[in-house]
Structure 1
Amino acid sequence: AYVFFGSWDGLPDVIRWRGASVERAMSHFWLTSEGVFGVALGVSSGFVFLFVLFGALLNQAGAGNYFLSLAFSALGHLSGGPAKAAVIASAATGLISGSSIANVVTTGTFTIPLMKKVGFSAAKAGAIEVSSSINGVLTPPVMGAVAFLMTEYVGIPYIEVVRAAIVPAAISYVALLYIVHLEARKMGMTGTLRTGALRFILGAVLSVCGGIVAGVAALWATGMIVDLLQASLGAMALPVLVALFLGAYVAALRHAAQRPDLEMSVSGMEHLPPAREILQTGLHYLLPILLLMYLLMIERKSPGFSAFWSASFMLLVLVTQRPLKLWFRGQGGIAEAARAGWAEMLEGLIAGARNMIGLACAMAVAGIIVGSVTLTGIGQVMAEFVEYLSGGNLMLMLVFVALISIVLGMGLPTTANYIVVSSLMAGVVVELG
């Protein structure tokens, strides 16, 4: 409406413009790189799809259920345990999925009924699950499409986005855990383990920091091993590294085969084995995430390259994990398991494509908003307005930008919200900052 009727006398002088004809507007939206077929849609088709596909394949293989069971086993004995498990499970699911909707569907199926069972109202159970799942977009390796848009819009390496997300992700999940803990205590919930508020928050901080340190240490050690092999073997290092990685996968799968598969049901979540045992049933799920993080953060490969090879490895996992487990257990039916693996791989590919449809549509429609901003010049007006209100104060201006993001976020997906806010406000942020 603003594109076509921007010359209306009822508009304030500061935002009034001469308006555009249908021909000019459609030409700008559809035939230039500043409309529908702009940066956002280019990024989504270039490499966001590969990350969405990687997450879908990993979830199809059972990684989502693995992280969910691990969280419930570790936290189920605390007061309000299912709610705390929902927070941690959503954080873990954020490792493999950049979609907050997919995160809610994956974990909420189990967490919401269990939260209601221990005494949380339906509204509180839903609120806890949604809050946790939305923050999963921040969890490194930052699988949310927004991260890739930032690299294109701002022109910074993807590794910088990951580094910047580590602290906010940790803070948000520690805060969510503490809020859930206080809510559980206020409602009089008790667990098999009594934990004071101070002790709990310190434990949560130490656990989050310990997880980050362990992940960084694993990446550093992997990098040292790779450098050592490359220095000693030269051109032969790559096939040796591939063989070692596949050997680690087979060894992890053999270790997992010594334990029974996890039962995925709401009732099964209430009678899980200790977290240490569950951890050992899915070590092979950590390898593709390690591969992705290594290629992104140590080798500094492009996001598309890293996601492609990680997704390729996941295809191998889907096809081989079932028959290999049966073989290690000495059971029959390996041929049927192999066929089931191929079927699961196909389902994972279909799920990845379906998950991308909504994201691509949101990016395309956001391109219309970006085109409107560039066509009308409203971005410059908004920037000047915010700069005037903030009086040139950087912190005050950032507060205004945050408020705009919150208001727009009530009606726009994360990706579209970033596109709109960055189109309007990035200029003034750079100018003042």
Structure 2
Amino acid sequence: MGTMLDLTPRTVVSDRLATLPVVIIGAGPVGLAAAANLVERGIDFTILEAGSRIADSVQLGGHTRFFSPWKHLIDPASRRLLEASGWALSAAEGRAPSGQELVDDYLSPLADLPEIGSRIRFSQRVIAVTREGMDRTRTAGRAQTPFLLRVQHADGQVAEVTARAVIDASGTYTTPNPLASSGLVPLGFDQVADHVLHALPDVLGADRARFAGTHTVVVGAGHSAANTLIALGKLARDEPGTRVSWVIRNPSAIRVSSSPDDELPDRAKLGTRTEQLVASGVVSVVDSFEISRVEPTGSGIRLVGTRRGEPATVEADLVVNATGFRPDLDMLREVRLELDEIVEAPKRLAPLIDPNLHSCGTVEPHGFRELTHPEQGFFIVGMKSYGRAPTFLLTTGYEQVRSVTAWIDGDVTAASQVALVLPATGVCSTGDSAGASCCS
């Protein structure tokens, strides 16, 4: 008689998920805040950072000053860890720092803490997220299956890591909206790519020689555009031959707050200073311009499109693309997401951040519930969670990750008790939000 198979269900001796770390994608302000919260809860984690340094995107625009003061830029859990190590903020809490100051005085000391720094892996770009052995169509046992992240190293080598949960805090800075009003890369872009710069170039510093004596067109209508226009306006006064144009697709040029009631005065100053540059003629405005294609002019670039229904062109030596940002969703094709069809934010979060209804200061408190997707244990947080909406503030991201990490820890009570006090604002964006952006 043959051996009979034992089909009795066996008790799982160990939960493999519990042995795996949480993986945080991105070592920016919100990713590091997530790490600090996990440290406080005693949960193991790994941070995968695409750049070679912490807060790489913040440092790329490090010359730009935030309009929020220090008191709104430091995560509470991170502060507790830092102060326990003897750290103290040397600047005044009410002062708004530059991006580089945020890194030097806060984020670098935070990342240097052994309990965080030992878990950061630099130059490791996440190119895909899935479940181990499962594409997005397989359901049975999905929630109990580890996440699998495919990672590309700086040398081009590809590896895979597993995780119990994934917090995507990779941001949107490296995926700007294209120049064309259609949302697509404009026809002819490859021929003029050298003449188009990313948002927030260092006009008065490292990039000064490139802009001096040239005609620069800034495309976009938000805070990134305003910062660049202000810097170019100063350069135009100092360097003969420097010309500045502002191309927007809206009928009105002013899209940033200049309200005296704004509780962030540095934010209001952006609008006021931009208005003054336009009124004085230092900045020429081309409104209602819809870009469809671009072409070379020999030494420069020509924007081709329509203005108020008629064919139109604008020529320049350089173009700064300040049209806002969008999330990189290609890496998440095998993850079950529930995204709003308009702004590409989590479905339950989208109504709370709709730029047609909300400014930076009117977003309601939200946490793990609003950030939950059908893929249990996967969360998009920080700037990327806002999709294409421009109203993000760092303090919002900090509350997001406090709630999310509490949920991962099984502390549903703490995860559900979300609270957020945001400074009142003028208008960050209303109506057509393309090109608008909030810089915390």
Report TM bin, short chain. under 0.3
TM, length-normalised to structure 2: 0.24
Instruction: Please state which structure has a larger fraction of its residues in helix.
Output: 1
The structure, 1 or 2, with the larger RCO (C-alpha pairs under 8 Å, 6+ apart) is: 1
Instruction: Please state which structure has a larger fraction of its residues in strand.
Output: 2
